[in-house]
Structure 1
C-alpha cells in the first residue's frame, strides 16, 4: 500500500505559438498577497492542536477563523483560551473531495485563516485517500497499485485546494510513533514515545512554506522554513501567535527595494 506509482512525466511542447510567447512577461518578484502555508506534525499529546490554533489566531489578527475538525471536537476544547475565537466544521468521514468542499465553504465565508485538524485523516481515515485506493483496486482485480490511478488525482486535487485557498492555512498531522530508550535527567534509560514521519503521503512537507514537529514535551522544531526568522529554530512550549505567526506575517509583508 505504501508503494506508490512513479509520477507521470509529460513531454513539454517544443515550441510555443507566437501569441503564447507574446502573453508571457516577467515582472519584479515580491510577496504581495502571499498567504502562509504551515504544517505541524506530532505525537498524541504534543500540543499540536493548541499551538496550531494559537498560530491561526495570530495570523487572523483578531478575526474569527475557520477550523475543519476531524478530531471529534478536540479543537473546541480550546475555544476562548487566550481570547481565541473560531468557527468549527465537524467532519467524521474524510474523502479528500469533502475537504475540498470544506475549503470552498471557508473561502466563501471569507475566513482569513483555515486550520485543518488534522490532515492525516484525509490520508488514512474513513474514505481517505488510502480507502479510495482500496475501493478503486476492485476495478483492477484487487490490484492496489493500479488503484492509485484513481487515488493519486484525488490526493493531488486536495493538496491543490490547500495551496490555492485565498487565506492562510495551518494544518496539523499525526506522526507515526515508536517507543525508544532514552537517557533521562537521572542518567537512567527509559522508554519515550517519539514521532517519526507524518501520517500523510510521503513528501507532503514540501507543499508547505513552514513545516514543524512537536514532541511529547511540547518542544517544537522547524523541519523546514522559508521564513528566515524561523529557520532551524527550536522553541520550548511556543506561543504560536507571538513566536510563529508574528514573524511569519512580518516576513510576508516585507519586500526588497524595487
Structure 2
C-alpha cells in the first residue's frame, strides 16, 4: 500500500576501493571519527586493523572465516552499540562467494542468496557503514618530463576494478576510488553536492560533507508539517508565508498566490511547495 513519502533517519553506505597502500583503512577510520562517536571495525586483514589504535578510538573484531554469514553475525552484533561499522575488507566476502561457486555455474543458485543476504543486512542496518575493497593493480608506462625537460617513460602502478561483484557500487550511496597519492575520487554519489569531487587524505572535511547531506535528508519538510490544516482562508496561507519570509512584501506574496495553479485540486498544497522551493533556493 502506498503512503506519502516523508523524511526519515539516514545512514550512510560508503564504499572505498583502492590498491594496497592507498590508505583505505586509515581514511575509513578518519571519516568514521567525523560521523560518530563509536566505531567498530571488522578486520579481515590479519590484525592490521589495529595498527591505527594510537590515532583513533575504535573497537576491532578480527575475522578469519570470510563466509558472508560471519560478516552478517558481526554486523548484527555491532548494530545498536556503534555509530559506524567499518568492513575492512569487503573483498574477502566476494572471494568467499567465489569459493562457494567453485567455477561451477550451477552453484550460483546457492551463492547468490547468500550474497544477497549480506547486502540486505548492510542496507537495513541502522548505523553508518563504510566498506573498503581491494583493487587489482597493474603497472603501466607513463611519459614524464624530468628536470632537464627531457621526456622519459617511467613505470607507474594504477588501481583497477575492485575485487567484488561488478555491480556492487550500485548498492552504496557513495562510492570512491583511492590512489597511491591518497586521493579519493568520488565515482558514484546520491549526494549531488559531492558528485565527482576529490578529497586528499579524506577525513573530517569529507565527513562534514556527508553529514550535511544526511542533515538535509533527515530534516522535516514544510509538507511534513501540513500547515494548511490550520488555514481557513487564503489570507491565513499568505500570513503563514510572510512569517517564514518577513523580507518579502505582503503584496508580492498575494500576487504569487493569485498566479498559483492548484496541485491535484489543492491550492494550499501547491502554495506550501512553492514556499518550500523558494526558501531552499534562497538558502543555496
Query: Do the structures match in fold with TM over 0.5?
Result: yes
**Residue equivalent to 2:122:** 162
Give the distance between the partners of 1:121 and 1:51, measured in 2 at CA: 19
Q: Match for 2:53 among 79, 85, 90?
A: 79
Q: Note if 1:122 corresponds to 2:98.
A: no
Q: Note if 1:250 corresponds to 2:222.
A: no
Deviation of residue 185 (structure 1)? 4.9
Give the distance between the partners of 1:226 and 1:206, measured in 2 at CA: 10
Q: Which has the larger radius of gyration?
A: 2
SS at 1:166 equivalent: coil
1:145-180 CA-to-partner distances (Å, cap 9, x unmatched) read 001011111111111111111100000000011111
Q: Note if 1:64 corresponds to 2:38.
A: yes
Q: Note if 1:197 corresponds to 2:161.
A: yes
Give the distance between the partners of 2:222 and 2:91, measured in 1 at CA: 40
RMSD, aligned CA: 1.4
Structure of higher RCO (CA pairs closer than 8 Å, 6+ residues apart)? 1
SS at 1:78 equivalent: coil
Q: Match for 1:152 among 112, 116, 123?
A: 112
Runs of 4+ in 1 over 4 A off after TM superposition: none
Deviation of residue 218 (structure 1)? 0.9
Deviation of residue 235 (structure 1)? 2.0
Give the 5 Å matches for 1:24-35: 24-30=1-7, 32-35=8-11
Give the distance between the partners of 1:144 and 1:103, measured in 2 at CA: 29
TM score, norm. by length of structure 1:
0.80
Give the 5 Å matches for 1:191-230: 191-230=155-194
TM score, norm. by length of structure 2:
0.73
SS at 1:72 equivalent: coil
1:109-156 CA-to-partner distances (Å, cap 9, x unmatched) read x211100000001111xxx1111112xxxxxxxx71001011111111
- In terms of fraction of residues, the more helix-rich structure is 2
> Contact conserved, 2:199 with 2:206, CA < 8 A, in 1?
no
Instruction: Indicate how the Cα distance of structure 1 residues 41 and 185 shifts in structure 2: closer, same or farther if over 3 A, else same.
Output: farther
Give the distance between the partners of 1:117 and 1:184, measured in 2 at CA: 35
Q: Note if 1:235 corresponds to 2:235.
A: no
Q: How many residues align?
A: 216
Give the 5 Å matches for 1:22-61: 24-30=1-7, 32-60=8-36
1:52-108 CA-to-partner distances (Å, cap 9, x unmatched) read 111111111xx2211000011222111131xx2000000112001111111111115
SS at 2:51 equivalent: helix
1:24-56 CA-to-partner distances (Å, cap 9, x unmatched) read 2321432x2110000100001101110011111
SS at 1:33 equivalent: coil
Give the distance between the partners of 2:129 and 2:100, measured in 1 at CA: 25
